[in-house]
Amino acid sequence: MGQRMKRRNMGKSKSVRALLGIGMFVGWLQTCFAADDSPKAAPINIFSPSSTPAIEISHLAVFVFCITGVVFAVVAGLLVLVIFRYRARKQDDPSEPPQVYGSNQIELAWTVIPVLIVVVLFLATARVIFAIQDAPKPASALDVTVTGHQFWWEFRYPKLGIVTANELHVPVSDPNHPTPTYLKLMSADVDHSFWVPELAGKTDLIPNRVNELWIDPLRTGVYLGQCAQFCGMEHAKMLIRVYVDTPDGFASWVNNQRQIGNQDSAAQAGRHVFETQSCINCHTVSGTVATGRFGPDLTHLMSRSTIASGIALNNEKNLHDWIKDPDHFKRGCLMPAMQLSDEQIDGIVAYLSTLR
């Protein structure tokens, strides 16, 4: 009976793992074949590093691939040679061949060479790890605190007094005057993983622990990333957008984010609806009674290109659909549908559209 129950539990465990794998694959397909109103941007490209940590990791990967490629070619070549040259033939003597009990030279070679290969790979990997982790932090570095939530990103600039969500803005780093960005990574709930492959390697966000990561983008542009740790149903739609701005462009963005959101008097009816519903329990809008911390800060919502952690363009239609039924975009997200009338939602959208 015990063995039967053990086999049954093992079968259930395999089924759970299979379902989890299928779920992750479906999530990946949803990301790849998103709706037409999803934001268009260059795909994630691990072969185009644009920051010192990513460049170091890329060079290490090429080095490891070359060594392991040579090992594969030698082993596969010898295997093919032995299979074809020493295959059984009709004219072969069927009796047992003479037994050879080894060669000290061959055994020494196939012991020493793999050890040397492992040592070389270990030293190369350790050099890159320490070069990235122990890099000195210049006084000109930008500090950002990143907090992972189910299923969105919170970005805080402690020295600048700025809070935003899902879209990280950083300045480009001139090699002659480096301006790296140092990220302090934390989690508000479960394990997450911050991964923008063109800028740096994966780094986990773990509850009750602080990890660190730094980037120094060498080219302006938009770099896409993803939560790389399964963190729940909508893990596949927990996207990252890093905007690398020119120094003037970043200064302009900072100046705008420091301002209190422009709240047009024509949208006061929508503001009243927003402030009298549960919206204020989860969201913050500077200068208002909305001081929630469970959801993204909306003070400068319209300065962002996307909503819902990068899966939809930030426009009035998508805002309306998002407020009416968040599951339309992210099934299983933690934002509830408030059962508001279309008139109330239109008022809230009109108000949110003034938060620039």
Mean pLDDT (the chain) is 85
**Residue 205: beta bridge partners?**
192
* Most confident residue range from 243-247, 264-268, 325-329: 243-247
Work out the average pLDDT over 7-15.
48
Same domain membership, residue 200 and residue 326: no
Residues contacting residue 309 through CB under 8 Å, at least 6 positions apart = 151, 152, 153, 165, 166, 237, 238, 239, 330
pTM for the structure as a whole: 0.80
Question: Are 286 and 301 spatial neighbours (Cβ–Cβ below 8 Å)?
Answer: no
Q: 42 falls in which pLDDT band (50, 70, 90)?
A: low
In a domain, 61, yes or no: yes
pLDDT of 38 over the 70 cut: no
CB count in 10 Å sphere of residue 52: 22
Q: Would 259 be classed as within a structural domain?
A: no
Most trustworthy range by pLDDT among 19-23, 321-325, 331-335:
321-325
Q: Last residue of some domain: 209, 241, 273?
A: 241
Give how many domains the chain has, as a whole number.
2
15 within domain boundaries: no
**Least confident among 24-33, 80-89, 166-175:** 24-33
DSSP string, 128-195: HHHHHHT----TTPEEEEEEEETTEEEEEETTTTEEEESEEEEE--BTTB---EEEEEEESSS-EEEE
Residue 282's domain is classified under what CATH number? 2.60.40.420
Looking at the structure, do residues 288 and 154 belong to the same domain, yes or no?
no
Contact 180, 217 (CB under 8 A): no
Residue 30 belongs to a domain: no
Looking at the structure, tell me whether residues 281 and 210 fall in a common domain: no
pLDDT of 147 above 90: yes
State the residue range of the domain holding 335: 265-352
Is residue 120 scored above 70 in pLDDT? yes
168, 276: one domain: no
38 located within any domain = no
Give the type of residue at 310: G
The reply to whether 340 and 214 lie within a common domain is no
Last residue of a domain, one of 241, 273, 293: 241
The residue-averaged pLDDT of 14-19 equals: 45
pLDDT, residue 64, reads 95
Q: 78 with 199, same domain? A: yes
**pLDDT at residue 29 in the model:** 42
Claim to verify: residue 217 and residue 337 sit in the same structural domain:
no
Tokens 């190369």 belong to 124
| Structural domain ending residue among the three candidates 226, 241, 256 | 241
Q: Is residue 260 part of a domain?
A: no
Q: What is the pLDDT of residue 262?
A: 61
Q: Cα angle at 212 between 210 and 215, to 5 degrees?
A: 155
| Same structural domain, 226 and 323 | no
Question: Does residue 334 sit in the same domain as residue 185?
Answer: no
pLDDT of residue 13: 47
65 and 196 inside one domain: yes
Q: Where are the beta strands (DSSP E) in 208-276?
A: 211-215, 221-227, 239-245
Same domain for 272 and 165: no
147 and 75 assigned to the same domain: yes
Task: Look at 355 and 261; give whichever has higher pLDDT.
Answer: 355
Residue 35, domain member (yes or no): no
Domain-embedded: residue 165: yes
